[in-house]
Amino acid sequence: MKTAVGVLGATGMVGQNYITLLREHPWFEVRHVAASPRSAGKKYGDAVAGRWQPADDCDPRVGSLTVEDAGDVSGAAAANKRGDCAFVFSALEMGKDETRALETAYAAAGIPVISNASAHRWTADVPVLVAEINHRHADIIPRQRKNHGWDRGFIVVKPNCSIQSYMIPVYALIRAGYPVERIIVTTMQAVSGAGYPGVPSLDMIDNIVPYIGGEEEKSEKEPLKILGAVGDGVFENAALPRISAHCNRVPVSDGHTACVSLEFGGKKPASVEAVKKIWAEFRDLPQEMGFPSAPARPVIIREENDRPQPRKDRGAGGAMAVVIGRVRPCGVFDIRFTALSHNTVRGAAGGGILNAELLKHKGYL
């Protein structure tokens, strides 16, 4: 029997992607949808009519569900009691303070929250999970519950979509015994990453916008929590790597590209080919356990001089893999490469679903 789940912010772009990706999921099925008060009371299909974004039509079963008010936690609590909402995926699009308070209220009501929002990424006892990197961070959940007096609820978040394209490759090198000391990264981020209603077309046609509010700060700080450790019931950030990020919005529909230069500290890989071999062979718990959303190969190497490209490579590994190309020596640091990940799948709903699969495997759902 599948686990019944809810989606908060279900009518937004990320919420729609959750609905689409969960349509044939072997473990989970959507039986509760919630959004803003202006959508509450409508059938989901009617609420998204005219603004449905995914290529596939809306799941008619979900389309027939009545949208609840996401701000009314009691509705989800009632659904939880009748078996229609064991936990929620949060794709809320509100201010950080409002989102933080609302996700906390769901957890306090006994409903686990797996969030795409940034509101809780710096809450000291909330893990920021990339399933292939820091799945052990999920084991802070019992302490988090104790800290807040929660029974069954908890909060887990995924990181910013802009770091997905290079964090797994960096971690793979660290795990192989080659500590990364400094990173310079320039991201070229798709317009879909701006969310609904997105970036005005006149800003993007024939143009690049060299600023995305808050994005560089997230890119420089979130990896340190992901690579950090659990201290006395809270997370302690890693000291390294030091990261300098330049984040740009580019006229691409989906797929965030990153140009990355790495400097190693101490022991260094023997060659570019040695680095490629580490990436090609990298696997972790999601692959070992065969989680439904996990790509069989989390890092895919392209040898062509002009790859990866968003239009050609963003769907690799069910849009859950990182595609790397142009791996070569760096004249300033040690190595440089270009990497690509699908920002609305791996970087958003797909990453959230993979985290849920991890949490179910660990017995928290």
pLDDT digit string (tens) for 194-232?
876 678 888 899 999 999 999 999 999 999 999 999 988
pLDDT of residue 89: 98
Query: Among the options 58, 85, 161, 247, which is catalytic?
Result: 161
Pairwise CA distance, residues 323 & 331, whole Å: 23
158's tokens = 């995924």
266: left (phi over 0), alpha (psi -120 to 50) or beta: left
What is the number of other CB atoms lying within 10 angstroms of the CB of residue 276? 17
| HSE (side-chain half, CA atoms, 13 Å) at 284 | 20
pLDDT of residue 196: 61
195's tokens = 């969310």
Query: Using one digit for the tens of pLDDT, what is the confidence trace for 31-78?
Result: 999 999 999 999 999 999 998 888 889 999 999 999 999 999 999 999
| End-to-end Cα spacing for the chain | 14
Cis peptide leading into 60, omega within 30 of 0? Answer: no
Query: Using one digit for the tens of pLDDT, what is the confidence trace for 20-34?
Result: 999 999 999 999 999
Nearest CA among 263, 93, 67, 74 for reference residue 178: 263
User: Which domains, ranges and CATH numbers included, belong to the chain?
Assistant: 3-160+348-361 (3.40.50.720), 162-342 (3.30.360.10)
Question: Measuring CA to CA, how many Å separate 1 from each of 58, 81, 109, 312, 365?
Answer: 23, 17, 24, 37, 14
**What's the farthest any 2 CA atoms get from each other in the chain?**
61
**259 among known catalytic residues:** no
Query: Among the options 32, 135, 256, 342, which is catalytic?
Result: 256
**161 among known catalytic residues:** yes
From edge to edge, which strands make up the β-sheet containing 113-115? 68-69, 28-35, 3-8, 87-90, 113-115, 155-157
Which residue stretches of the chain have pLDDT < 50?
none
